[in-house]
Amino acid sequence: MTYWISAVGGLLTAVLIIYLIRRDHLHTRYALWWIPVALIIAILGLFPQITDWIAPSIGVHYGPVIPLLTGLIALTLKILIMDIERSRNETKLNRIVQKLAILEQALQQLTENSAHKPK
């Protein structure tokens, strides 16, 4: 029963991701990350023996720990990528704010110079 819940959960996640893409709530580059995750969850839910088959070949004694560990590593990488992107965006935003301040100052100086000129 647990396997079916996992499989249905994975398929529903994939359908939700496709729905969010079609409604422009999720950018395609993010969906490229989440669709494979949902499909892997569905596949492992439908065929749990995959982990039982892989486990001995990589020296793991308890097969269900493989998806958990893989998921933990994938989420850690995803968070790291998100932090890198956020840092990049903050740097861009700071540069835009600085450029805007320079432009505002230049505009103010031009306005003051034109106001003080004799007519």
pTM of the model: 0.69
Q: Which domain holds residue 41?
A: 1-47
DSSP tag of 62 = S
Report if residue 83 sits inside a domain: yes
Pairwise CA distance, residues 34 & 38, whole Å: 6
Q: Which amino acid is at 58?
A: I
Co-location of 43 and 74 in the same domain? no
Higher pLDDT: 97 or 62? It is 97
As for how many domains the chain has, the answer is 2
Mean pLDDT over 12-36 rounds to: 84
Co-location of 78 and 43 in the same domain? no
Q: What percent of the chain has pLDDT over 70?
A: 96
